[in-house]
Every structure is written in C-alpha cells, then in structure tokens.
Amino acid sequence: MTVSMNMHLTNTMIYRIIYRMKVTAIIDDDLVNNVKVYTRSSTVTEAITIALKDWLDNYNIKELNKKISQNPIYIENGQQIREINRTT
C-alpha cells in the first residue's frame, strides 16, 4: 500500500491511531487470580486494566480530597446553594 505524502487525514473516525503497551511483568499468580475474580474479568489483560483504572481513580480522589481539605468550603445554609445550582 502506498500513501501519498499530500494525503490529508480529514476523518478522525477512520484514521484513528491506537497506542498500546505490551508489558512483561513478574506478578504473583494469587494476586492476578484475585484481581480477575474481584474485577469479574475473563482475561488477565482486562483484569489488570480495570484494576489500574480503579487505582488511578482512587488516587485522584485522594489527591482532590487533600486539596479540598486545605481550603474547605463551609455551607451554613444549604438553601442558598440549592438556589444557585437551580439558576446555573
């Protein structure tokens, strides 16, 4: 297949590039099997992907909680917040 150097990729739905990383890791079998069970995954790849995404979500929540705890917002009257939320 030859590709013209002047070719423009105008349709991102057709010309999408997906990057994947193949990793070789030494992980305890019991740990992998437990992750597969808890994530209800049929493959190791799916189980580890779900576990890593979940870990990142938890990490981001903890970091956000740290930021919020440094400058907390105190709400004395919830009705004011409800009215603001309803108008925006």
Mean pLDDT value across the chain: 84
pLDDT per position as a tens digit, 8-29: 555 555 556 667 788 899 999 9
Mean predicted confidence (pLDDT) in 59-64: 96
Higher-confidence residue of 19 and 58: namely 58
Give me the pLDDT at residue 78, please.
85
Percent of the chain with pLDDT over 90: 51
pLDDT at 63 over 70: yes
Please tell me the pTM assigned to this model.
0.61
Domain segments of the chain: what residues? 29-73
* 63-86 burial code (b ≥16 CB/10 A, e <16): eeeeeeeeeeeeeeeeeeeeeeee
CA proximity to 44, closest of 71, 77, 22:
22
